Structure formats: C-alpha cells, structure tokens
Amino acid sequence: MANRFMQVAIDQAKIAAEKGEVPVGAAIFKNGILIAESHNEMIERKNPCAHAELLAIERAFEKTGDYRLTDCDMYVTLEPCSMCAGAIDLARIKRVYFGAYDAQKGVLGGKIDISKELNFKAEIYGGISEKECSEIIKNFFEKIVDK
C-alpha cells in the first residue's frame, strides 16, 4: 500500500521536473484517502519556501478546515529539509514516508536525524520506492549539468 501512495508523490515530482522545478512531490492521505498533493513550485512562485511538503500541508489544511493533521500520513519523494520537518511536526502529521535520502539537506533519518532529539511526533519511514525517487532527482540534475 505504501508504494501505491508514494506513486502519487512520484507523479507530482514528475510534474515538477517538466516545469523545470527540482522534482520533489508530496501527497497527504487521511485514513487512506488522498486529501492533498503538490510538488515544488519555488521557481513558479518565486518563493524559496514553496516546497512540495509545505504546499501539500497548506492544501490539507484548506481541505480539512483544521490546522492539525493528526490522522494524516505524508508521502514525499525526498527526505524533508529542516523547514519542512518543522512544519510537519507543527501540523502533527502522524507518519512520514519518504523516498530518496538527502545527504545535503535531509534531517529525518539520513545523515542527520532531528526527529529523536526534538521530540518529533511523527513516525518516520525512509527509503520507500527509493530507487525510483532517487532516479528522478539524478536525471533532473544530469540534464542541468549537460546544458
């Protein structure tokens, strides 16, 4: 089931890549039902904070009418950065499933894991569909280097 839910985030990452955005996608499910999905829109919005996770959280708030997402799971193609991890914690998301580990900016289980030291509430599961998620990122940056 996790891979099926991750596929929604992967599809969002592919949309981001087509737009020239760093290909990260996120999806939020409440009791197994999709309530929000998004991808990076930093270039489109001219906003460095327009990460897939933050946009998905905002859409989930709009959908549920609540600022707490306690019964929700997030699927994201790349390990969240510190900004997104903070928002995930404040939103009280129950579980986070991420695909590729991010050795540079990820903070939820890869090189750095702030979840244990900050009393992070969400359960964290990394490496879901890791190969496919990593390939999307790798292919995107290879195309940029080749230009």
62-79 residue pLDDT tens? 999 999 999 999 999 999
**Among 1, 55, 44, 45, which residue's Cα sits nearest to residue 19?**
44
The predicted structure's pLDDT at residue 58: 98
The predicted structure's pLDDT at residue 112: 86
> Coil, strand or helix: which one is 76?
strand
The pTM (predicted TM-score) of the whole model is: 0.94
75-106 residue pLDDT tens? 999 999 999 999 999 999 999 999 999 999 99
Active site residue 79: no
Classify residue 142 by burial, with Cβ atoms within 10 Å: 0-12, 13-18, 19+: exposed
Q: Find the catalytic residue in 21, 37, 53, 79.
A: 53
Q: Domains, the chain, ranges and CATH? A: 2-140 (3.40.140.10)
